[in-house]
Structure 1
């Protein structure tokens, strides 16, 4: 599984409209990327950060894809232009930082409920 992470950094007096992002942009992205095969989209609105006066990012969005090739093809698809062009409606600092990662999950052992 591939995780694509989009990060919206705080930079100076940059505007980030959380209500617009959650109410319009995320549903738009879910429709467009859903048609291209994304498995799941998670959004984190950052409210605090350890050892900082304020968080260094406004939000982090994680998308989950079956393969790196599928994710790259989706981001190159012409239909994604409508998602990109909507970003100026909620964020003033240009495109988000995007990174592709492999996903590894550590299972937490559970105690036997019968003991």
Structure 2
């Protein structure tokens, strides 16, 4: 299984609408990816590792798929629509990473 992490840096003065991201954007992404997206999570940054340190990322999502191929095959046809929605909730450029999930505990 792979995890696609999309992270938004916590930049002073930047705009990020958590409600829109959680309630509109991510359900749209899930609908477009269909069965290729096994599940997803949405995170809201609270703090950094040191006391009183701001969060590194203001928000992020993690999309879990069976393989890179499954993700790319499902995302590709809808990439333009998904990317075009970004200005509706932020003026930040997302950082993307694809990782292999090597341990998962319930």
Q: TM class by shorter-chain length?
A: 0.7 to 0.9
Higher normalized strand content (fraction of residues): 2
Aligned CA distance change for structure 1 residues 4 and 106 (closer, same or farther; 3 Å): closer
Aligned CA distance change for structure 1 residues 105 and 93 (closer, same or farther; 3 Å): same
Written as runs of structure 1 = structure 2, the 5 A alignment for 1:7-26 is 7-26=7-26
8 Å contact from structure 1 (residues 46, 57) kept in 2: yes
Structure showing greater Rg: 1
Q: Please, what TM-score do these two structures have when normalized by structure 2?
A: 0.86
8 Å contact from structure 2 (residues 7, 60) kept in 1: yes
Uncovered stretches (5+) of structure 2, i.e. residues with no partner: none
Offset of 1:73 from its aligned partner?
A: 2.6
Q: Please, what TM-score do these two structures have when normalized by structure 1?
A: 0.80
User: Runs in 1 of length 4+ with deviation above 2 angstroms?
Assistant: 72-75
Uncovered stretches (5+) of structure 1, i.e. residues with no partner: 109-115
